Amino acid sequence: MLLIRSACLTLFTLGVLAGCSTPTAQPPKQTSAVASTNYQCSPDYSTQTIDVSEVYQDGEWVRDFYSGARQKVVSGKVDFTPAPGSEGLILIEEDNFSKQNFMWDNATVYFAITDRFANGRTDNDRSYGRKPDGAQEIGTFHGGDLAGLTSKLDYIAALGVNAIWISPPFEQMHGWVGGGIRGDFRHYGYHGYYIQDFTRLDANMGTERELREFVDAAHARGIRVLLDVVMNHPGYSTLQDMQTFDYGAIKTTRLSAMPENWGEWTPPAGKNFHGYHDNIAYQAPRWSNWWGKNWVRAGVGDYDKAPDVAVDPIRGSLAFLPDFKTESPQPVDLPVFLRDKKDTGAKQLADASVRDYLVTWLTRWVREFGIDGFRVDTVKHVEGDSWRQLKASATRDLEEYRIANFEKPQFTEPFWMVGEIFPHKVEKTKHFDQGFDAVINFDFQRRYAKRGADCLANIDATFSDYAAKLNTDPEFNVMTYISSHDTQLFSTSAKTADVQKRVAAPLLLTPGAVQIFYGDESMRMHGPSGSDKMQGTRSAMNWEDIDAGKVDNILNHWRKIGTFRNRHPAIGAGEHKMLSAAPYTFSRVKGADRVVIVSSEKPD
């Protein structure tokens, strides 16, 4: 059973609820009419004579943004020498050019898993009694928080980033579930996808004041803020939360063996952390005190049991997570545990369905904090009407925020939604009629990223194909990536710093929106994983390497290309045209915005 989702990729053993791990199955192969070559190249640092006559007129002054050198166009040509460390790139723009207005079609989105990025406050590292495991800390909270993100915004802005996507900051299940196929580590909701209370920030993430400071500071730097949101499921039940919120039950035969604090249970000899299920009476009547049968499908109490997602993608259960009944129009009462939770912002809503509650909870963050967009998890496992309602409500709420906070730095673009729909590629599907402005492009990482790093000319056909599809439809956009928390880090396949450096060009020069996963720019490496290899994609940000200057060669290259991209909407949203095969030269043009990009590489 292959279950693809943003919290994790999970192959489960039998059980009612289980910890999150990763499948051994591979995603289906895709076919494409896009042709590409597969040369290995090395940069050529000799002076290049470049024909720019199709873009610039004689007498115009242009410059290489990478080196800063200026040239006048004579007989349609300019001569530039690639700057040291440029990997042979020459980035040509008008000499008197001024930065153009932002477009989502050219967005550069930085994705940070907050807990693994930067620790701004250590006093909240062990909220709700969470503890490190003292071993590899695979599934524990590491301490990253909103204050840490704010402290690193100048670093992020220097990459040319104009939007930041952060993992769901909402209050997670307090306890842990068994992690990995073998249950070999405690797995907390450090990644944000095991939500318990949508109306509160997780204490590990910080306070609402710190969220407001983060959003305002990002906006002041020209960076939009995207929250990762989930409407398919809440988090698992855990021993700790069962005790804290008084739902479910422990088997009477197990009570005497339980520690005073249930969350401190450790597996006996011969058992692993999945063994915590053995303690739980899953058919006890007190499961009604949890979400309740009108809210979710789950294999507990008298709840409706969810089918496999392969049988029913909308009503099925992903990784045995409780499945929200978002398709139901039935009005529901507030779940008992939230009704009794002292610090929740969840209130009873009149005649509200599950969908109504979730939309209200999620868009409240837009209305009060000025969130600019959502990255939406598990899109294909929720019906389209829910996404349309979420988008409409968020759009209204962002306008309300902007009117009420007119004195603050903010933007003018409508609310933006990008969806995770595995294994979507560059094609327009029904999801663009469900409120989505863009979808994640899963195809580039697997098929083109390494080819482009080997030799940029290898993927000219891909550039041309993407630009043609995206630029013929103003309501179609994709977000392309090379690394993610659900697939792999590019550094795993790059293996060398040279390749990690060179992949900046194919990613950041790709048409459409692009996503940098934290550490792509600094060759962050795969971390400890146990029996779940996806855990290693969420390793701690390698600040030690950055602060020590060990990755300056890579980082400065990413910064230079990223800043150039940020200056020119034509890179993501313009017409692509190859001007020369040797040196490989192409243009991107959108209105008055004109750039010519040269990759003076030679096949090895």
User: Nearest to residue 159, comparing CAs of 211, 221, 80?
Assistant: 221
User: Nearest to residue 413, comparing CAs of 162, 155, 227?
Assistant: 162
Contacts of 386 (CB under 8 A, 6+ apart): 231, 326, 327, 355, 358, 359
Cα–Cα separations (whole angstroms), residue 280 to 16, 262, 269 = 10, 11, 18
User: For strand 170-172 and strand 195-201, is the pairing parallel, antiparallel, or unpaired?
Assistant: antiparallel
Selecting among 105, 420, 460, 520, the annotated active-site residue is: 420
Selecting among 115, 145, 377, 545, the annotated active-site residue is: 377
Q: Where are the alpha helices (DSSP H) in 22-176?
A: 146-151, 153-157
Q: What is the DSSP letter of 10?
A: B
SS3 86: coil
User: Nearest to residue 189, comparing CAs of 242, 244, 114, 92?
Assistant: 114
Task: Tell me the torsion sign for CA atoms 558, 564, 567, 570.
Answer: negative
What are residue 515's phi and psi, to 5 degrees? Answer: -125, 125
| One-letter identity of residue 418 | V
- At 478, list the tokens: 């994709």
Secondary structure (H, E, C), 339-380: HCCCCCCCCCCCCCCHHHHHHHHHHHHHHHHCCCEEEECCHH
- Tokens 């996963």 locate to 517
Contacts of 292 (CB under 8 A, 6+ apart): 303, 332, 333, 335, 336
What are residue 234's phi and psi, to 5 degrees? Answer: -90, -170
The CA distance from 443 to 487, in Å, is: 11
The CA distance from 54 to 57, in Å, is: 8
- Tokens 């209204």 locate to 396
CA angle 216, 218, 222 (to 5 degrees): 115
What is the length of the chain? Answer: 604
CB 284 within 8 A of CB 150: no
Is 475 catalytic? The answer is no
CB 517 within 8 A of CB 538: no
CB 417 within 8 A of CB 227: no
- Tokens 């988090």 locate to 235
β-pair partners for 581: 584
Is 79 catalytic? The answer is no
User: For strand 163-166 and strand 108-112, is the pairing parallel, antiparallel, or unpaired?
Assistant: parallel
Q: Which residues are catalytic?
A: 377, 420
